[in-house]
Amino acid sequence: LIELDRAHLVHPVASYRGHEKQGVRVLASASGATVTDASGKQLVDGFAGLWCVNAGYGHESIVEAATRQLRELPYATAYFGLGSEPAIRLAAELAERAPGDLNHVYFTLGGSDAVDSTIRFVRYYWIARGQPQRDQFISIEQGYHGSSTVGAGLTALPAFHAGFGVPFDWQHKIPSHYAYRNPVGEDPQAIIAASVAALRAKVEALGPDRVAAFYAEPIQGSGGVLVPPKGWMKAMREVCRELDILFIADEVITGFGRTGPLFACTEDEIVPDFMTTAKGLTSGYVPMGAVFMSDRVYDVIADAAGASAVGHGYTYSAHPVSAAVGLEVLRLYENGLLENGVKAGARLMAGLEALRDHPLVGDVRGRGMLAAVELVVDKQKKTPLPAAAEPARRIFDRAWDNGLVIRAFANGILGYAPPLCCTDADIDAIIERTRRTLDQTLE
């Protein structure tokens, strides 16, 4: 398998030639929060795949829901007015649970095309409102909003954003709220004030009637699990309302119990104009994403389009099998999974907090089952772990050898997003194996 992978399977993010030494790690099976590799080695999956297997692996009821739907009706297009029962029911169930008036759901295949779709819907909205000149988009440094060709422009991680020659001069960034390394210091009110001022200044510089939308993750995930101070989302939402800019909350990671409730926006006490989700929606069992639209936005687009269709759609949008899985996963969340996630999340955060005494640990942050540990070589100076001497891949490999899957980011940040079904023993194993990995890194 390793030979075949090397010859034929492209892994751009792991680098084209990156598997040369180690070869790919092949997973063979999984159950609960435990994954088993092709050699039979068992590991606790501290990252739920790619922040997505929120329900954990091996849920027979999810398999049954998918199988039933595959037998009954494996496909129905949502393209020209056809539909399927699970997709319609899932849209209705989601709308009922979404914050405020986010009552309209557009299904995609994942998070990137969910974000990409919002760019298009935002443009339709402003054209319908007679302001086509609003074509500038603002997002945040360290943000990640997917890897589609256009949407990647909102992503502020250079590896995803730059290097392939697509002009992104209509997409702009403001500095992150990154508390641990913020030029304004760690005071929450100062951080909020700085972000608000930065957004205002950016809008002013671009022209008050030129900005179409602002994108924010309730917690910046791929940028290193950067948790904004309480009140930050609310303050940014208010500025957008005041300046008449659409506010898009990208909940692709934070949605579906990752931080506690079904949606992080609920905890942040905001209702965005759009909310993008994916990952936990189907818990990674099958691909699906969902864009939520408010009544206010949807009505403008729908009224302007009138009897004519808005030209946007994917072959696999509202896929009945994905929707059937989504419905069952939603049932699981509400039958104990969310609750267990809150309990396990508290144990995870307490365990990681206790690692602060380790010489390499500079910062510990997170909310619910989404957390990070930032490694430094000098706690006082917050000197980052030198990437050349201690590449992320080596920390990842060491954790793997210790029976733990975590995300090791390039800048010495370890990411945690375990399945919400974790038992106390799973969480304790994550903490204990992290400590062992850090001790070995110190050596």
Strand (E) or helix (H) holding 53: none
Cβ proximity to ligand PMP: between 48 and 404 the closer is: 48
Residue whose C-beta lies closest to ligand PMP: 111
CB of 111 to ligand PMP, least distance (A): 2
CB of 415 to ligand PMP, least distance (A): 11
Query: What angle (nearest 5°) sits at the alpha carbon of residue 136, between those of residues 133 and 141?
Result: 170
CB of 36 to ligand PMP, least distance (A): 24
CB of 289 to ligand PMP, least distance (A): 6
Cβ proximity to ligand PMP: between 34 and 118 the closer is: 118
- CA dist 191 and 355 (Å) reads 26
CB of 97 to ligand PMP, least distance (A): 20
| Cβ contact 199:138 at 8 Å | yes
Cβ proximity to ligand PMP: between 221 and 260 the closer is: 221
Strand (E) or helix (H) holding 138: strand 136-140
- CA dist 155 and 436 (Å) reads 34
- CA dist 328 and 65 (Å) reads 7
- Which long-range contacts does 32-41 make (Cβ < 8 Å, 24+ apart)? 32/56, 32/57, 32/58, 32/419, 32/421, 32/422, 32/423, 32/426, 33/57, 33/418, 33/419, 33/421, 33/422, 33/423, 33/426, 34/426, 35/405, 38/1, 41/403
Q: Which two tokens stand for residue 90?
A: 């899932």
Q: Which two tokens stand for residue 218?
A: 């309730």
Cβ proximity to ligand PMP: between 282 and 434 the closer is: 282
The sign of the CA dihedral 252, 297, 174, 211 is: positive
| Cβ contact 124:304 at 8 Å | yes
Cβ proximity to ligand PMP: between 12 and 23 the closer is: 12
CB of 261 to ligand PMP, least distance (A): 17
Cβ proximity to ligand PMP: between 40 and 158 the closer is: 158
CB of 146 to ligand PMP, least distance (A): 3
Cβ proximity to ligand PMP: between 216 and 300 the closer is: 216
Cβ proximity to ligand PMP: between 221 and 384 the closer is: 221
- Find, among 426, 421, 422, the residue nearest to 404 by Cα: 426
Residues that bind ligand PMP in the complex, under the rule CB under 6 A:
110-112, 115, 144-146, 217, 221-222, 250, 252-253, 278
Amino acid letter for position 172: H
CB of 285 to ligand PMP, least distance (A): 14
- CA dist 159 and 290 (Å) reads 25
CB of 366 to ligand PMP, least distance (A): 15
Quote the distance between the C-alpha of residue 143 and its chain's center. Answer: 10
Cβ proximity to ligand PMP: between 146 and 261 the closer is: 146
